[in-house]
Amino acid sequence: MDISSQVGGAAVLLWRILVRLFPPRFDKNEFRKCLYSMGYQSLSIMIATAFVVGVILVIQAFVFVDRYGMRSQLGWGAGFVTIRELGPVLLALMFSGRVGAFTTAELGTMTVTEQVDGLRCLAIDPISYLVVPRFLAMVISLTALTMIGNAVALVSASVMGDIMMEVDSHTFWSSLFSMLKVGDIVLSVTKSALFGAIIAVNSCFFGLGTSGGAPGVGVSVNKTVVSSAVAIFVVDFFSTFVLG
Partner 1 sequence: MIDLLDIHVGYGGHKALDGLSLHVNDGVLLGIIGPGGCGKSTMCRVIAGLVQPDAGEVFVNRCNFRTCNRHELQSAQKDIGVQFQNDALFEHITVLENVEYPLKRLTDLRAGEIEAKAVETLAMVGLSGFEHRLPNRLSGGQRRRVALARACITRPGLLICDEPTAGLDPQTSRTILDMIAGIRYQTKCTVLVVSSDVVGLVSISNRIALVWSGKVIEEDSTTVFRQSERKEVQRFLDDARLPFAGWAWD
Q: What DSSP state is assigned to residue 212?
A: S
Nearest-approach distance from CB 104 to partner 1, in angstroms: 16
**Using the rule CB under 8 A, which residue among 29, 41, 60, 113 binds partner 1?**
113
Residues 3-42 that bind partner 1 (CB under 8 A): none
In angstroms, the CA 55 to CA 161 distance is 9
**Using the rule CB under 8 A, which residue among 17, 58, 112, 132 binds partner 1?**
112
Cβ atoms of 196 and 186 closer than 8 Å: no
Residue closest to 193 by CA, chosen among 137, 154, 129, 153: 137
Nearest-approach distance from CB 116 to partner 1, in angstroms: 8
**Under the criterion CB under 8 A, does residue 118 sit at the interface with partner 1?**
yes
- The dihedral over CA atoms of 81, 86, 87, 91, expressed in degrees to the nearest 10, equals 180
**Using the rule CB under 8 A, which residue among 120, 177, 233, 244 binds partner 1?**
120
**Using the rule CB under 8 A, which residue among 1, 3, 121, 163 binds partner 1?**
121
Q: What DSSP state is assigned to residue 73?
A: G
**Under the criterion CB under 8 A, does residue 117 sit at the interface with partner 1?**
yes
**Under the criterion CB under 8 A, does residue 123 sit at the interface with partner 1?**
yes
Which phi and psi angles does 37 have, rounded to 5°? -75, -35
- In the Cβ-directed half-sphere of 62, how many Cα atoms lie within 13 Å? 17
Please identify, using beta-carbon distances, which residue of 6 and 239 lies nearer to partner 1: 6
Residues 82-111 that bind partner 1 (CB under 8 A): 109
**Using the rule CB under 8 A, which residue among 25, 29, 114, 170 binds partner 1?**
114
Nearest-approach distance from CB 25 to partner 1, in angstroms: 13
Please identify, using beta-carbon distances, which residue of 127 and 152 lies nearer to partner 1: 127
Residue closest to 36 by CA, chosen among 189, 141, 129: 141
Specify the 3-state DSSP secondary structure of 194: helix
Please identify, using beta-carbon distances, which residue of 92 and 112 lies nearer to partner 1: 112
In angstroms, the CA 214 to CA 102 distance is 14
In angstroms, the CA 164 to CA 126 distance is 53
Kindly list the residues in this chain that would bind partner 1 in the complex (CB under 8 A): 109, 112-115, 117-118, 120-124
